[in-house]
Amino acid sequence: MKELLNQDLKAITEADSAPMISIYLSKDGALDIKSLTEKWKESLTKAEFFLLKDYTKSFVQSFMEPLWLSDDVQKLEHLDKGIIVFYSAVMQGYLRVQSSINDLVVVADSFHIKPLLRIKNNEKGFFLISMSGKAVNVWVETNGHLYRLNTFRNETEAAENTNKNLNMNPREFIAHTSIELNRMLSKYKLPIILAGVNEHLGHMKKYLDHSMVLEESIVGNVERAKSEKLRGKCFELLEPFYHQKELQEVEELNLAVKKNYAITYIEDIAVSAVYGKIKKLFVVENRQLWGAINKLTGEIFISPRQSNSHDDDILDDICQVVLAHGGEVVVLKEAANVKGYIAAAIVTDRSHLYDLDQAYSVPG
């Protein structure tokens, strides 16, 4: 199977070729490849269990064979915290993730994307600027890899009648380089992490004009540091950054609920989704509501558990409906501070919400 990229998310949400298997497999840092392979086999066994509820044994064996033969888990790298596999008759692929995920297996009529949305919405990559008195390197992290975009060197033309280079002092060099960096980074809204000795960091923070520069930096001589080590330190610094970002989303949600800008009944949310009335949907990654949603009326049918190859997480389906109508979806990693409701939505208006005496009508 191929490794999927950020731009494949649209194809994943629009895929329609049941049965569709979504596997989220976490990788503990201390887990060896043998133990991880056993976890992978357990996930496949669970997927087969759901398939056998609705399909013949011969079909399931044939359908699952490529997954049993795949070596995707062996492609995980040191800094990866897990793998997401999407598998159907027409789409097969995997994503390595550097954010913690919960183990989950879903077999349904659509792919399960909620955890992936949280990662892709919040963790779109970052810039790393490593510096010394000799050079400033600009790196970008995307799709699980760290790429060097540009290098600015502290080198000038040799002076006339001399072989010596007239290099700028480090402060002048960083000040000069920051002009180019400000121009380059102004087009993006990605976190920016600085790396270098304290003196150089102080100069760069003074001259770099960008609101996404992290307060914390990687301190030390980075001239000979390996990119993988730098990348690992970046993830450590980004954890509190992403946590703070989630707290801001929770604060916005709670304020909307307090001011009556949001709805919290799941039935109202489902109807609002199919009518295209949701501006911003909030759900929690590790909460599921199994069953099905009528995507014409918004009526929901709740199951006590995921019991077959058609039961899906209704919250996940609502996410996809909202995205299809151009709404925004916020997937919170934790359920803390969301006052117990399983979902909430900021809507454009409430005119579509039915009275108790009214029947559902098909949105037009």
Q: How far apart are CA 105 and CA 24, in angstroms?
A: 6
Q: Is 260 left (phi over 0), alpha (psi -120 to 50) or beta?
A: left
User: Do residues 291 and 314 touch, judged by C-beta distance below 8 A?
Assistant: yes
Residue pointed to by tokens 């911003």: 280
Give the model's pLDDT for residue 267: 94
> Token pair of 26, please?
């976490």
pLDDT-derived band at 359 (thresholds 50, 70, 90) equals very low
Give the model's pLDDT for residue 98: 86
Residue pointed to by tokens 């960091």: 201
Give the model's pLDDT for residue 127: 95
Amino acid at 113: I
Q: Which of 120-129, 156-165, 171-180, 264-273 has the lowest mean pLDDT?
A: 156-165
Give the model's pLDDT for residue 135: 92
User: Do residues 235 and 320 touch, judged by C-beta distance below 8 A?
Assistant: no
More confident residue, 156 or 38: 38
Burial degree of 295 (CB within 10 A; 0-12, 13-18, 19+): middle
Give the model's pLDDT for residue 156: 61
pLDDT in tens, 123-141: 788 999 999 989 999 999 8
Q: Which of 150-164, 180-194, 223-237 has the lowest mean pLDDT?
A: 150-164
Give the model's pLDDT for residue 210: 84
Q: Would you call 97 helix, strand, or coil by DSSP? A: strand
Helix spans in the chain (H): 9-14, 33-51, 57-69, 114-122, 170-185, 198-207, 227-258, 266-274, 314-324
Give the model's pLDDT for residue 302: 93
Does pLDDT of 15 surpass 90?
A: no
pLDDT in tens, 56-109: 999 999 999 999 999 989 888 888 889 999 999 999 999 988 888 999 999 999
User: Do residues 174 and 207 touch, judged by C-beta distance below 8 A?
Assistant: yes
Provide the 10 A C-beta neighbour count for residue 228. 11
Instruction: Please state the pTM of the whole predicted model.
Output: 0.84
Work out the average pLDDT over 281-286.
92
Q: How far apart are CA 280 and CA 299, in angstroms?
A: 20
Q: How far apart are CA 308 and CA 21, in angstroms?
A: 12
Give the model's pLDDT for residue 145: 78
* Beta carbons within 8 Å of 43's beta carbon, 6+ residues apart: 23, 25, 103, 105
User: Do residues 146 and 227 touch, judged by C-beta distance below 8 A?
Assistant: yes
Q: Which of 120, 151, 102 is nearest to 6 (CA)?
A: 120
Residue pointed to by tokens 């669970």: 46
Ordered structural domains, the chain, with CATH: 2-112 (3.30.960.10), 126-243 (3.30.420.60), 260-347 (3.30.1330.30)
Torsion of CA 140, 236, 120, 190, to 10 degrees: -40
Q: How far apart are CA 322 and CA 274, in angstroms?
A: 7
More confident residue, 295 or 6: 295
Does pLDDT of 363 surpass 60?
A: no
Burial degree of 162 (CB within 10 A; 0-12, 13-18, 19+): exposed
User: Do residues 192 and 213 touch, judged by C-beta distance below 8 A?
Assistant: yes
DSSP 8-state assignment for residue 308: S
Q: Which of 86, 196, 81 is nearest to 135 (CA)?
A: 196
